[in-house]
Amino acid sequence: MNKIFETKTTVAPYGRVGVLHTRAGDVQTPTFMPDGTRGAVKSLTPQQVTETGVQVVLANTYHLHLAPGEQIVKRLGGLHSFANRTGPMLTDSGGFQVFSLGKHVKITEEGVHFTDPSNGDKRFISPEDSIRIQLDLGADMIVAFDHLIGLDGASDADVQDAFDRTHRWLERCIIEFKRLTKDMKDRPLLFGVVQGGLDLELRKKSLEIVQNSEADGIAIGGLSVGETREEMTTVLEALAPLYREDKPRFLLGVGTPEDLKIAVENGIDMLDCVLPTRNARHGVVWGKDSKRVHLTNEKYKDDPGVIEPGCDCYTCGEGFTKAFLRHQFKVNEPLAGTLASIHNLRHMMRLCEGYRNSHGRMKS
Ligand SMILES: [Zn+2]
């Protein structure tokens, strides 16, 4: 296989600008990836998503597995055809959602038993199942099934146990991935997941195992699960000097402007989160200097300004005022969520482009 990732230049202190090669096209990094949880980025058409500068859309394996089911998606031509998307797509392993079900989850070495919250059906997913489901969905980048534990109330023994299982499961995922993709002409990329909670020694050890495995990429999991920003930063800073150059690095579930800066400057190439679009649907957008603007606030009722002066998104560019947006949120008009989502995604993508433009030109 040809090179997966190429570095164009560095971003101080530990970041980089580069290009990730996938079978669905190149991805310029660093980049933010919105979550199209059930196959769609909520309230946006694929065209609107692309126009914000988004290059990769993430879909959730857990949700698509439960409904409509990967076999239906596969029969309809896979995720790209099903969701009408031409650019690269990434699926997560489903682990995060399964483990979020809390007490309805039972973990064995074989896999995870859980109860479908929508109908009470008993379900089971093994690491091999997760790989098969993701390949059936047809994403261009997929993630190994890991054992995630919440930070709240996790004992050292719990963290160690999840840590060891994550690496055993990674080996099983790699074996299944190789088996199922061996006849593919253009196979997707597999990301292994780094765990270890807030224990820096465990994190470093996990990174060593994952980045020296046969996985194509490195995913940093288990952050943004209740720790503080300082704790997250400490973990990212500890890993930053240790990454191999040739593999892409993906931070799971992190996506505010502040976190993006910390992540990118500490070597992360790609990150995903529901936050920019979820916040937008609740009227919370990023204005000038990434300050939070609550559009439903009374003070905007006659505000003639746009969300962020100078922003090149459709919403600001067309001159939609804060007064108009506030009114549409107040009367529960879905257009408000759409317009706010377009702005928030563009805001995140422009931050990524800022790194790419200011540093990317320095290439020899
Ligand atoms: Zn805007």
Residue 204: which CATH number?
A: 3.20.20.105
CA distance 91 to 139: 6
Q: Look at residues 292, 296, 342 and name the one whose alpha carbon lies nearest to residue 316.
A: 342
Give residue 131's pLDDT. Answer: 98
290-347 pLDDT, tens digit per residue, is: 999 999 999 999 999 999 999 999 999 999 999 999 999 999 999 999 999 999 999 9
pLDDT band at 364 (very low <50, low <70, confident <90, very high): very low
Instruction: Tell me how far the alpha carbon of residue 53 lies from the centroid of ligand 1, in angstroms.
Output: 12
Give residue 10's pLDDT. Answer: 94
113-145 pLDDT, tens digit per residue, is: 999 888 999 999 999 999 999 999 999 999 999
Q: The whole model's pTM is what?
A: 0.95
| Residue among 140, 146, 259, 272 flagged as catalytic | 272
Asked about 303 being catalytic, the answer comes back as no
Instruction: Tell me how far the alpha carbon of residue 301 lies from the centroid of ligand 1, in angstroms.
Output: 18
Mean confidence (pLDDT) of the chain = 94
Among 205, 238, 273, give the residue marking a domain's end. Answer: 273
Residues 256 and 238 in one domain: yes
Residues 236 and 304 in one domain: no
62-106 pLDDT, tens digit per residue, is: 999 999 999 999 999 999 999 999 999 999 998 888 888 877 899
Give residue 103's pLDDT. Answer: 78
> CA-CA distances (angstroms) from residue 179 to 135, 172, 176, 183, 269?
12, 11, 5, 9, 28
Residues 142 and 287 in one domain: no
Alpha carbon of residue 35 to chain centroid: 6
Instruction: Tell me how far the alpha carbon of residue 176 lies from the centroid of ligand 1, in angstroms.
Output: 44
Instruction: Tell me how far the alpha carbon of residue 257 lies from the centroid of ligand 1, in angstroms.
Output: 14
205-242 pLDDT, tens digit per residue, is: 999 999 999 999 999 998 887 889 999 999 999 999 99
Domain count, the chain: 2
Residues 219 and 358 in one domain: no
What average pLDDT does this structure show over 251-272? 97
Identify the domain containing residue 213 by its residue range. 5-273
| Residue among 35, 92, 136, 140 flagged as catalytic | 92
Percent of the chain at pLDDT > 90 equals 86
CA distance 301 to 287: 17
Of the listed ranges 25-29, 163-167, 356-360, the one predicted with least confidence: 356-360
pLDDT of 362 higher than 50: no
Q: Look at residues 78, 112, 85, 108 and name the one whose alpha carbon lies nearest to residue 96.
A: 112
Residues 342 and 363 in one domain: yes
